Copies of this chain bind each other. A is one copy, B any other.
Amino acid sequence: MMRACRLEAVERTPVWLMRQAGRYLPEYREIRGRVGFMELCKTPHLAAEVMLATVARLGVDAAIIFSDLLPILEPMGMDLEFAAGEGPVIHNPIRTAADVQRLRELVSLDPLSYVFDVVRATRAGLDPGLPLIGFAGAPFTLAGYCIEGGTSKAWLHTKSLMYREPAAWHDLMDRLARAASAYLVAQIDAGAQIVQLFDSWAGCLSPDDYRRFVLPHSRTAMAAAAARAPVIHFATGNPSLLPLLAEAGGTVIGIDWRIALADAWRMVGHDRAVQGNLDPALLLADRDTVRRHTLAVLAQAEGRPGHIFNLGHGVHPQTPVENVLELIATVKGC
């Protein structure tokens, strides 16, 4: 996996899956029946155990810390709740330029020490040959949550603030970018070998708006970490942003399934590693279909070094475990 990040030759394509420790696993559902989501994130030995059991069960080539994009917002003053079955809710969303001032600078990382404890506990239990991935939400995705107060279809509050109050927007994005940067570096300090920046909602933007309102801040979020470890820069929902994602930074560019991997890699440039890009919905098909499409993604990479196999987004809760195992066996068999 580390060699693939550096575009070096590998014996076979490394593989891990976004949301590999998730609700599709009966063991995970069993634990979640006893422990709430945020409680699990904040209990390092349990969070580590969940990921280590998953890595052992699946035989993937990397662990990622069990956590979420949003905990970083709590010490910044956002009133965050994970309501059962509802997704995250922020009870005090940012809607105006004045509200932006309410978002506190992340002066100390102490309130997030449980995350670094998760890094340490997971690292301690993990095969020394496997990398541990830390992660953070990208500034745009964090801003979207802060402004909408949760997820959204059209991100209209977010775009309204962006278009109507550009100075407040850049102030907000700068605060989030510096916080994400410090957070990623602290995860590397605690023992992560790789970090991933998730820009889950950037795909709702035009290339022009991404360049003007997002790119400089994503660059800020990644720069310090990139001097220390490989950074995977992932967004979903708009293949035409790929050259701009590469311009913002990232040792590896994460690709979703909306574009053929070979075309995506050409847009990103072959001097950069890529991660992706099977549609996670394909894991709801039969095993033979899973195998064929997995092979098709591998064929798109044409044996070129620098491909990390992954889905184009997280594993869906409805996914049969045997299909995930089939995917991993297929990648490892090549």
Contact = CB atoms under 8 A, between A and B. Distances in A.
Contact of A206 (B155, B205, B241, B257): B257
A216 B285 CA distance: 22
Interface in A135-160: 154-156, 159-160
22 contacts: A156-B318, A159-B279, A159-B282, A160-B284, A163-B281, A163-B282, A163-B284, A163-B289, A164-B286, A164-B289, A205-B258, A206-B257, A206-B258, A207-B260, A207-B263, A209-B279, A237-B258, A238-B258, A239-B240, A240-B258, A240-B260, A240-B263
Nearest to A203: B258
Interface of A: 154-156, 159-160, 163-164, 203-209, 237-241, 257-260, 263, 279, 281-282, 284-286, 289, 296, 316, 318
A260 B156 contact: no
> How many copies of this kind of chain does the complex include?
2
A193 to B, nearest CB: 31
Say whether chain A's binding surface is mostly helix, strand, loop, or mixed: helix
B259 A156 contact: no
Contacts of A207: 258-260, 263
Given A154-B316, A208-B296, A159 B281 contact: yes
A291 to B, nearest CB: 12
Given A257-B206, A316-B154, A285 B164 contact: yes
A102 B329 CA distance: 39
Which 6 residue pairs are nearest across A and B when measured between Cβ atoms?
A: A163-B285, A159-B281, A240-B259, A239-B240, A160-B284, A238-B258
Contacts of A285: 160, 163-164
Given A238-B258, A239-B240, A284-B156, A206 B163 contact: no
Nearest to A207: B260
A147 B279 CA distance: 19
Contacts of A241: 258
A281 B239 contact: no
A206 B237 CA distance: 11
Nearest to A278: B206
Nearest to A264: B240
A237 B240 contact: no
Contacts of A155: 281
A184 B226 CA distance: 54
Contacts of A205: 258
Contacts of A289: 163-164
A259 B210 CA distance: 11
Contacts of A260: 206-208, 240
Max chain B C-beta neighbours (<10 A), residue from A204, A207, A258, A263: A258
